[in-house]
Structure formats: C-alpha cells, structure tokens
C-alpha cells in the first residue's frame, strides 16, 4: 500500500505512465480507424545463399507459411528449373540445377522482395561446413584448397563457422544461446568469398552438406578428457541443426605448436613439439570413437611429416601456433583435398609459384603419407 501511495503521489511519474498508455491507445485507434494492416516484419528465407551441383534437385523451405490471400511471385534464373512453387498448403520451392554459374532467384510477397544468391557448380561439387576457429580458417580458407579442386576439374564449397579460440565447450554454449556469435565465412568454387554474422543454426540449415567438420581448440587437442563429454554433446546439437542433410562427420586434427611458441597452452606439453603432436594423435584417435566419424583429417600429422623433412624447418607457423601462410597452409590444403576426394594429391596439377619441384613434391608427399597411413 505504501508503494501505491508513493506512486500516485508522484505527479511526474504518473504523467509519464499516462503518456505511454495514451500513446499506445492512440496507435491502436489509428490502426483500427484507418483499416491499414500493419506490415509483418519477417523474412521469407532463412538463407541468402544456395550452392548446388548441376543435375541436383533441391528444396528451399520458406521460413513461414503463406496465407491463403497472399500471392508469391517467384522470378527464376536460367541456371535452374522451378519444379514446384510455394503455396499456402506447401511453402516449399523446389529447383533443378541445369547450368553452371552464378545467378539469383527473387521472391516477392506483399511488395517486399528477397533475393537468394545462386551458385550452380559441377556435378562433382563437394560441400563442407566447419564448426571451428582460426585453425579451420588456416586449413580451409587459405588460397590453395579451392585451387587444388579447380585444377583437378572439381568444385568445393566451404563454409567456416568461425569463433576465434573456440573450444568444443564454447561451441556448445553458443548453440544453446542461439546468438549470432559465428562469423560465417564462405569460399565459393571460384574462390570468391563473403562473411556475415549468424547463429550456427542459420549457417547449417538450407544446404545439403556432404561433410561437417568438428575440432577441439588447439591447446586442448592433446587432452583426451576434453573430448569425452563435449564432443558427443556438440555432435548431437549439430546433428539436430543440419536438418535432412546427409552430412558425414569429420574430425579436423590440429597441429603441434612451433618449437619456440610462447602460447600459454604449450606449457601443458612441456613446451615440446613432439610431445604435443603425439598427445594430439592419441586424443583424436580416442575422439573418433566417441561419435560416428567418417574420418580424421590429419592436418597435424601432415604438418609434422613436413617438419621432419628439414626442408622448411621445424616451425611452419607464423606466430608459434597459426600456420605459416604459404607452406604451412599449403600442406594442410593438400591434406584436406586428398581426404575429401580420395585422389592422390601428388598427381594434382596445381603448381603454386615459389617452390622447386623437390619442395612441392615434399609438401604433397607429407599430405599423402598423413592420409594413407591413418
């Protein structure tokens, strides 16, 4: 009662509340009096990019249903055939990819238009999504991986869900929050790139992924106990987000630090590169048994193989832990290429500048051995 008395005895507070209430009533009255239907603030599409292989059929689900009186206009693209248009009873757009290249599809509803960027790739297109950090950035977003595919007559579409320094535990927390915590980086088959902030759910839905990659943060990659609970939990969460995608799961094995690394996590391994590498090898073999793993991508093994040749030294990092931007990234790219395609990377015609034939052969051989000796 004392609280109510103080409320009504405060003219300024009472006046403010009355102004807010009257404003709300006025707004309601205006809407009713004019008969104008308020515009709904929603998007028709949960995705803004669609990458598909020539000859494939894909279904694009609208983010919400259509009302009976609403008419949706779909402006197609010569690269696809529309097999089915969305209706109130079935809000699905079904497309058949027929011609390679870039294009777009426009959907217009109630005067509002949304565009879906379209990329039709080769029939052998591989689509990879990574739930990662700067180590997946080094291995997947480098300038070499898409070129290895291109030079072999293949296409790859890469999407990296990037959070710097993210552990398995951090990914779990961000998925639970639903926040747009991920810097979603895409690399199209022609090497063009884009970035946007989004929740992981938005990144994974809408595409039929061939592979989804998971990994532990580098300093914990040699700790088996860091995988025991977190990896199965993250796998279940990601699996629920990917929808009908038939994706196979990969574990991206990270690499040991450079011998002079000042990273705090190096102390756990006695600041010894070989000790860290052996711990990572053992931990990832253990982790692969915890979830349905299609395969381990042995980037760490390939980097270590190349270090042991002595051609490029024992480091191959740019700061003690991230890969050096040429040779380090190139050997990781060669590893991913061979692991994804099953093709002998030593026979790939891609020849980056600045290497002798002996050096390039050593790089590809290091990746080849890492993949074949698993």
Three-state SS sequence of the chain: CHHHHHHHCCHHHHHHHHHHHHHHHHHHHHHHHHCCCCCCCCCCCCCCEEEEECCCEEEEECCCCCCCCCCEEEECCCCEEEEECCCCCCCEEEEEECCCEEEEEEEEECCEEEEEEEEEECCCCEEEEEEECHHHHHHHCCCCHHHHHHHCCCCEEEEEEECCCCCHHHHHHHHHHCCCCEEEEEECCCCCEEEEEECHHHHHCCCCCCEEEECCCHHHCCCCHHHHCHHHHHHHHHHHHCCCCCCEEEEECCCCCCCCCCCHHHHHHCCCHHHHHHHHHHHHHHHHCCCCEEEEECHHHHHHHHHHHCCCCCCCECCCCCECCCHHHHHHHHHHHHHHHCCCHHHCCCCCCCCCHHHHHHHHHHHHHHHHCC
What is the β-pairing status of strands 57-61 and 293-297? unpaired
Per-residue pLDDT of the chain (374 residues; tens, 9 = 90+): 444 444 444 555 444 444 433 444 333 333 333 333 334 445 788 889 999 999 999 999 888 788 888 889 999 999 999 999 999 989 999 999 999 999 999 999 988 999 999 999 999 999 999 999 999 999 999 999 999 999 999 999 999 999 999 999 999 999 999 999 999 999 999 999 999 999 999 999 889 999 999 999 999 999 999 999 999 999 999 999 998 899 999 999 999 999 999 999 999 999 999 999 999 999 999 999 999 999 999 999 999 999 999 999 999 999 999 999 999 999 999 999 999 999 999 999 999 999 999 999 999 999 999 999 98
Strand partners for 128: 158, 211
Note the CATH number of domain 126-372: 3.40.50.1110
Residue 10 pLDDT:
52
CA atoms within 13 A on the CB side of 295: 17
**CA–CA dist 42, 65 (Å, integer):** 11
Residue 64 pLDDT:
77
CB 119 within 8 A of CB 47: no
Residue 39 pLDDT:
44
Q: Which CATH superfamily is domain 49-121 in?
A: Immunoglobulins (2.60.40.10)
Tokens of 52: 């598909």
Who's near 76: CB < 8 A, 6+ residues apart?
82, 105
CA atoms within 13 A on the CB side of 373: 12
Question: How many Å is the maximal CA-CA distance in the chain?
Answer: 89
How many other CB atoms are found less than 10 A from the CB of residue 160?
25
Q: How many residues does the chain have?
A: 374
Residue 42 pLDDT:
59
Radius of gyration of the chain (CA): 26
Tokens of 45: 């599409």
Q: What's CA 106's distance to the chain center, in Å? A: 24
* Residue extents of the structural domains in the chain: 49-121, 126-372
Place of tokens 């015609």: 349
Strand partners for 121: 53
Tokens of 129: 């999504």
Tokens of 192: 């063009």
**CA–CA dist 187, 144 (Å, integer):** 11
């Amino acid at each position: 009662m004392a609280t109510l008395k103080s409320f009504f005895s405060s003219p300024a507070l009472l006046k403010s509340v009355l102004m807010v209430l009257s404003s709300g009533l006025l707004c309601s009255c205006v809407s009713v009096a004019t008969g104008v239907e308020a515009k709904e603030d929603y998007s028709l599409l949960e995705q803004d990019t669609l990458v598909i292989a020539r000859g494939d059929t894909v279904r694009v689900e609208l983010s919400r249903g259509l009302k009976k009186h609403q008419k949706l206009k779909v402006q197609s693209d010569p690269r696809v055939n529309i097999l089915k248009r969305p209706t109130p009873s079935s809000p699905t757009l079904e497309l058949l990819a027929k011609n390679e290249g870039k294009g777009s599809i426009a959907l217009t509803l109630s005067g509002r238009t949304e565009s879906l960027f379209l990329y039709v790739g080769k029939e052998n297109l591989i689509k990879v999504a990574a739930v990662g950090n700067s180590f997946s950035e080094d291995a997947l977003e480098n300038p070499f991986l898409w070129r290895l595919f291109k030079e072999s007559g293949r296409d790859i579409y890469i999407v990296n869900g990037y959070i710097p320094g993210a552990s398995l535990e951090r990914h779990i927390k961000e998925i639970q929050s639903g926040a747009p915590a991920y810097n979603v980086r895409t690399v199209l088959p022609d090497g063009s790139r884009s970035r946007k902030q989004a929740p992981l759910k938005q990144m994974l839905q809408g595409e039929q992924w061939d592979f989804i990659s998971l990994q532990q943060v580098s300093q914990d990659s040699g700790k088996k106990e860091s995988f025991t609970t977190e990896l199965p939990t993250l796998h279940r969460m990601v699996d629920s987000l990917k929808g009908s995608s038939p994706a196979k799961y990969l574990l991206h094995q990270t690499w040991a630090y450079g011998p002079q690394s000042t990273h705090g996590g190096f102390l756990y391994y006695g600041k010894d590169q070989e000790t860290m590498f052996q711990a990572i090898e053992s931990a990832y073999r253990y982790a692969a048994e915890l979830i349905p793993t299609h395969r381990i991508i042995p980037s760490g093994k390939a980097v270590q193989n190349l270090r042991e040749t002595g051609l490029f030294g024992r480091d191959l990092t740019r700061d003690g832990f991230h890969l050096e931007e040429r040779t380090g990234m190139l050997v990781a790219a060669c590893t991913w290429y061979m692991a994804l395609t099953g093709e002998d990377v030593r026979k790939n015609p891609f020849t980056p500048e600045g290497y002798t034939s002996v050096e390039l052969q050593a790089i590809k051989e290091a990746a080849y051995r890492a993949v074949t000796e698993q």
